[in-house]
């Protein structure tokens, strides 16, 4: 049976750390679905449509990478998609506590689904979407840390605010 993995997250915005994890997942699993959370509580910088468009554009040459959105419980979405694995990236020990809690909660909610942790390449271990937004909005360089399309969109957003 082909192994289908789901890589969930907010991706606001997609970083090269995410790209690294998705690429690794695409080599390891038959198919990986990048599942972007529809989060009604947070006001994202990038709309859901933009996040889907960017991720699809970055992986347009990877036929086994699919981009989708989800709402509600992650395990319900994974089950609906007939996937077996949840992929999460682990950058540092500081990620571990929350990731451990989520993996165990998801395991309790649906014991048939496995969480697999993957580490990005070393140069991406300190990147987070939050830090990218903060650094860029304060005039810092994020080149090489996010896909070029994300950098261009960040610039557009900053210009629009001026
Ligand atoms: O990119 P993020 O914000 O770290 O991703 C967090 C995400 C989307 C994986 C998590 O918030 C999630 O799974 N949300 C869906 C609701 C859910 O299932 N919550 C219980 C998780 S134990």
Residue nearest to atom 16 of ligand 1 (CA): 73
Burial 126-140 (b: 16+ CB within 10 A, else e): ebebeebbeebeeee
Residue 125: band (very low, low, confident or very high) from pLDDT cuts 50, 70, 90: very high
Assess whether pLDDT exceeds 90 at residue 41.
no
pLDDT given for residue 94 in this prediction: 87
CA-wise closest residue to 81 among 33, 148, 151: 33
- pLDDT by residue (tens digit) across 16-29? 999 999 999 999 99
pLDDT given for residue 162 in this prediction: 78
CA-wise closest residue to 110 among 87, 81, 68, 78: 78
Residue 49: band (very low, low, confident or very high) from pLDDT cuts 50, 70, 90: very high
Span of 38-42, 96-100, 101-105, 149-153 with lowest mean pLDDT: 38-42
Residue nearest to atom 21 of ligand 1 (CA): 102
Q: Which atom of ligand 1 is nearest to the CA of 101?
A: 22
Report the distance separating Cα 18 and Cα 46, nearest Å. 16
pTM to 2 decimal places: 0.97
- pLDDT by residue (tens digit) across 62-101? 999 999 999 999 999 999 999 999 999 999 888 999 999 9
Percentage of the chain lying above the pLDDT 90 cut: 91
Q: Which atom of ligand 1 is nearest to the CA of 8?
A: 9
Rounded to the nearest angstrom, the distance between the alpha carbon of 36 and the centre of ligand 1 is 10
pLDDT given for residue 1 in this prediction: 87
């Amino acid at each position: 049976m082909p192994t289908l993995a789901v890589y969930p997250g907010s991706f606001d915005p997609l970083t090269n750390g995410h790209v690294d994890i998705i690429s690794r997942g695409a080599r390891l699993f038959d198919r990986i679905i990048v599942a972007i959370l529809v989060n009604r509580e947070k006001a994202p910088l990038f709309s859901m449509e933009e996040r889907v468009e960017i991720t699809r554009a970055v992986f347009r040459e990877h036929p086994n990478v699919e981009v989708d959105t989800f709402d509600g419980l992650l395990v319900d979405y994974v089950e609906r998609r007939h996937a077996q694995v949840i992929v999460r990236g682990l950058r540092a020990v500081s990620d571990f506590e929350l990731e451990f809690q989520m993996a165990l909660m998801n395991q309790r909610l649906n014991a048939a689904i496995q969480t697999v942790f993957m580490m990005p390449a070393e140069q991406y271990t300190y990147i987070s979407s939050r830090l990218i937004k903060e650094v860029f909005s304060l005039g810092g360089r994020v080149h090489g840390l996010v896909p070029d399309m994300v950098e261009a969109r960040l610039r557009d957003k900053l210009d629009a605010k001026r």
